[in-house]
């Protein structure tokens, strides 16, 4: 038996209080799109374990990749050493990511990938002899991670980190893009970020944004035209562009990378989550040669080196996961998910508690008018045989791409039923 009493007393779960912890559900197995609880109940996973299990659980090809690599080595330091899995992963990422991203820094989590990107941007300008470009420009509604530099570019008011606002570096924030996905972007829509860049570009090292989809900051989908215009503004004002594709990378929005919706290349790209298909923690920060040369000239070295950087086990699994994705009909699967989400969730609009619905790729969002009681919602969804974990006013799913029509329908029916209870 899983000792839930010990768990409750000693294990600090994410975003919870140790005095009044939320209930947790003991898991003994996971397979395909199902999570199996200790009592035998099987839940359809609508969250892909915070968006990373794009192939589902217990995937044979990824299992084999882990076992093959274990026979050689699970880890070796990356300082002064290298290995085939890291080289092949870098080769694959350079090949499939937007053009000009040629340099790959392999780290161990999404937040670290963002830390690395911010550090790259600042060190780039320092090495040009420009000490004043030490701020970052982000967007309202942004979420980029839970470490300190990452927190400093999350929305300082509506985000999860307002308690730390006096401890973090002060950065600039433009208004969240009002132009919706599939809509044009007017000059008024970019007026906020344009004004900040005009006024403060001499202090700003980079703009950081989540392309097309703002994730944990509000599941907000915005115009590809906005993203294209930001690329132009960054070039005009001599500011680097960082694209955080930790949530959107590897097909989640219907494109392999969300930057492709606008046909742009950032100067720095952050990847994580689905990189290994959810098997192991791994992240990557890619840059173009302009950035790497700017940091490296005159004997400059990039000052970052995580202990588990380039972990061979994770790199080998990432290669297998990416190849599995590319060899699959992933675009057809994601498009089918989007069509079904759009049709099924339309029924939620009939409920008075619902503000609106939003869909893109394999993401379906029901925004409620009031905040959702997480404990009540979690108990409800488990009773319905599904795993859905809302936050704030957002009821959403981001399932594995392998999910079938009936399994997806069970998720959307549970979402509809929940909106009727509120």
**Cα radius of gyration (the chain):** 21
The count of other CB atoms within 10 Å of the CB of residue 368 is 20
pLDDT at 210: 98
Question: The whole model's pTM is what?
Answer: 0.97
**Token pair of 252, please?**
């989640």
Who contacts 233 (Cβ-Cβ below 8 Å, separation ≥6)? 190, 193, 194, 197, 207, 239
Annotated catalytic residue: which of 273, 279, 344, 401?
Answer: 273
pLDDT at 157: 83
Annotated catalytic residue: which of 143, 181, 222, 396?
Answer: 143
- Is 143 an active-site residue? yes
pLDDT per position as a tens digit, 388-410 = 999 999 999 999 999 999 999 99
For CA atoms 75, 78, 82, 85, give the dihedral sign.
positive
Per-residue confidence in pLDDT tens, the chain, 422 aa: 999 999 999 999 999 999 988 899 999 999 999 999 999 999 999 999 999 999 999 999 999 999 999 999 999 999 999 999 999 999 999 999 999 999 999 999 999 999 999 999 999 999 999 999 999 999 999 999 999 999 999 998 877 667 787 778 889 999 999 999 999 999 999 999 999 999 999 999 999 999 999 999 999 999 999 999 999 999 999 999 999 999 999 999 999 999 999 999 999 999 999 999 999 999 999 999 999 999 999 889 999 999 999 999 999 999 999 999 999 999 999 999 999 999 999 999 999 999 999 999 999 999 999 999 999 999 999 999 999 999 999 999 999 999 999 999 999 999 999 999 99
Asked if 246 and 283 count as a contact pair (C-beta separation under 8 A), the reply is yes
DSSP 367-414: EESS---HHHHHHHHHHTTEE---BTTEEEE---TT--HHHHHHHHHH
* DSSP, res 176: P
**Token pair of 160, please?**
């999860």
Annotated catalytic residue: which of 5, 6, 15, 406?
Answer: 15
The helix or strand, by DSSP H or E, that contains position 293, with its residue range, turns out to be helix 289-296
Phi, psi of 338 (to 5 degrees): -60, -45
Q: Which fold has domain 4-58+329-421?
A: 3.90.1150
As a whole-number percent, the residues of the chain with pLDDT over 90 amount to: 95
pLDDT at 165: 76
- Is 181 an active-site residue? no
Place of tokens 């880890």: 75
* DSSP, res 188: G
The count of other CB atoms within 10 Å of the CB of residue 348 is 24
- Is 133 an active-site residue? no
Domains of the chain, by residue range, sit at 4-58+329-421, 72-326
Asked if 205 and 134 count as a contact pair (C-beta separation under 8 A), the reply is yes
The helix or strand, by DSSP H or E, that contains position 216, with its residue range, turns out to be none
pLDDT at 218: 95
Who contacts 138 (Cβ-Cβ below 8 Å, separation ≥6)? 144, 153, 154, 155, 171, 172, 173, 174, 207, 208, 209
The count of other CB atoms within 10 Å of the CB of residue 381 is 23
**Token pair of 400, please?**
């594995």
Tally of CA atoms within 13 A in the half-sphere of 230 that contains its CB: 36
The helix or strand, by DSSP H or E, that contains position 196, with its residue range, turns out to be helix 191-200
Whose CA is closest to 311, among 77, 79, 66, 133? 77
Counted residue by residue, the chain has a size of 422
pLDDT at 154: 94
pLDDT at 62: 98
Provide the strand spans (E) within 264-393. 268-271, 283-288, 354-360, 363-368, 386-387
Annotated catalytic residue: which of 146, 155, 225, 244?
Answer: 244
pLDDT at 403: 98
- Is 34 an active-site residue? no
Q: Which CATH class is domain 72-326?
A: alpha beta
């Amino acid at each position: 038996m899983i000792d839930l009493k010990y768990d409750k007393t000693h294990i600090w779960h994410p975003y919870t209080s140790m005095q009044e912890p939320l209930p947790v559900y003991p898991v003994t197995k996971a397979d395909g799109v199902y999570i199996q609880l200790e009592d035998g109940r099987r839940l359809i996973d609508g969250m892909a374990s915070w968006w990373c299990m794009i192939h589902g659980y217990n995937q044979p090809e990824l299992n084999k990749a882990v076992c093959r690599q274990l026979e050689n080595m699970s880890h070796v330091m990356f300082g002064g050493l290298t290995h085939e899995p890291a080289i092949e992963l870098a080769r694959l990422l350079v090949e499939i990511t937007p053009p000009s991203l040629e340099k790959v820094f392999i780290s161990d989590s999404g937040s670290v990938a963002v830390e690395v990107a911010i550090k790259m941007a600042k060190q780039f300008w320092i090495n040009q002899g420009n000490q004043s470009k030490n701020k970052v420009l982000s967007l309202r509604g942004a979420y980029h991670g839970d470490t300190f530099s990452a927190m400093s570019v999350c929305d300082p008011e509506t985000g999860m980190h307002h308690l730390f606002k006096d401890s973090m570096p002060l950065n600039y924030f433009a208004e969240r893009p009002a132009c919706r996905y599939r809509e044009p972007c007017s000059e008024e829509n970019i007026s906020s970020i344009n004004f900040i860049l005009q006024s403060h570009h001499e202090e700003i090292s980079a703009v950081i944004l989540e392309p097309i989809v703002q994730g944990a900051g509000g599941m907000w989908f915005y115009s590809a035209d906005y993203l294209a215009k930001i690329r132009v503004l960054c070039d005009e004002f001599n500011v680097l562009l960082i694209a955080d594709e930790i949530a959107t990378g590897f097909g989640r929005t219907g494109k392999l990378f969300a930057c492709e919706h606008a046909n742009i290349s950032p100067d720095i790209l952050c990847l994580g989550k689905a990189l290994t298909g959810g098997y192991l923690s791994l992240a990557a920060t890619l840059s173009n040669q302009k950035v790497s040369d700017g940091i490296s000239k005159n004997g400059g070295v990039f000052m970052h080196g995580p202990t588990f950087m380039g972990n061979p086990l994770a790199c080998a699994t990432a290669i297998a996961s990416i190849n599995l994705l590319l060899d699959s009909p992933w675009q057809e699967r994601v498009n089918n998910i989007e069509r079904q989400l759009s049709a099924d969730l339309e029924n939620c609009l009939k409920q008075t508690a619902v503000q609106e619905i939003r869909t893109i790729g394999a993401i379906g969002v029901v925004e409620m008018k009031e905040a959702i009681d997480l404990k009540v919602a979690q108990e409800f969804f488990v009773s319905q045989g599904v795993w859905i974990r809302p936050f704030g006013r957002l009821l959403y799913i981001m399932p594995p791409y392998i999910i079938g029509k009936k399994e997806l329908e069970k998720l959307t029916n549970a979402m509809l039923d929940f909106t009727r209870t509120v």
